[in-house]
Chain A
Amino acid sequence: GESVGLHLPTLSVQEGDNSIINCAYSNSASDYFIWYKQESGKGPQFIIDIRSNMDKRQGQRVTVLLNKTVKHLSLQIAATQPGDSAVYFCAEEYNQAGTALIFGKGTTLSVSS
């Protein structure tokens, strides 16, 4: 069935570096994708989203890139800070009598100062 997965389970960076977290999706019909950040003991927090009619979207220190040809998403975090340490999930919106978010397994980002 359809699923969204992440390439790497962990990523370690130094404070101030740029981080790139990758995600591959399998449903070519998907048209809406979201990146979530989940800190320990908390629920997922919305970071940024992108629709399939775009290939790039920028937020504050974050950029999401969408490559529909190879069904690949990436999240770029500029000047990574210790507070960015968390688990990051990409999610795909699945619409069938309601809206379900299909999450991948997540990438744990560790930022050392």
Chain B
Amino acid sequence: DAGVTQSPTHLIKTRGQHVTLRCSPISGHKSVSWYQQVLGQGPQFIFQYYEKEERGRGNFPDRFSARQFPNYSSELNVNALLLGDSALYLCASSLDTQNEQFFGPGTRLTVL
């Protein structure tokens, strides 16, 4: 069975640009969570979605937004990129909001 997949693998943007990251959950999983992992730190929770609705939000500015589609895949959008947004963005899927979260390999975003 395929695990959580994320695209693209790597991405380079410049300050002020917009970026969209994509995640496909494990088949049968209805919840997707997004995390930001800055180099040398643990992942920081950004959002959790379940059945296309936002169920939780971390301490991130409104420049960060996400959505979940009917097939349970998800997109994370970041507007007006800052240098500090450079990080590994991780997607995790779970059966629902209370079950074990399985992480994808992440998208490495570099903002120049």
Residues of A within 8 A of B (CB): 4, 34, 36, 41-46, 49, 89, 91, 94, 96-106
Contacts and interface: CB of A to CB of B under 8 A. Distances in A.
Contacts of A96: 56
B33 A42 contact: no
Nearest to A45: B103
Contacts, number: 62
Given A42-B105, A43-B105, A99 B97 contact: yes
How many interface residues does chain B have, given as a range? 20 to 34
Interface of B: 4, 33, 35, 40-45, 48, 50, 54-56, 58, 90, 92, 94, 97-98, 100-106
Given A34-B100, A91-B42, A101-B43, 6 more contacts: A43-B105, A46-B100, A99-B33, A101-B35, A101-B101, A103-B44
- Which of A4, A43, A91, A102 has the most chain B CB within a 10 Å cutoff? A43
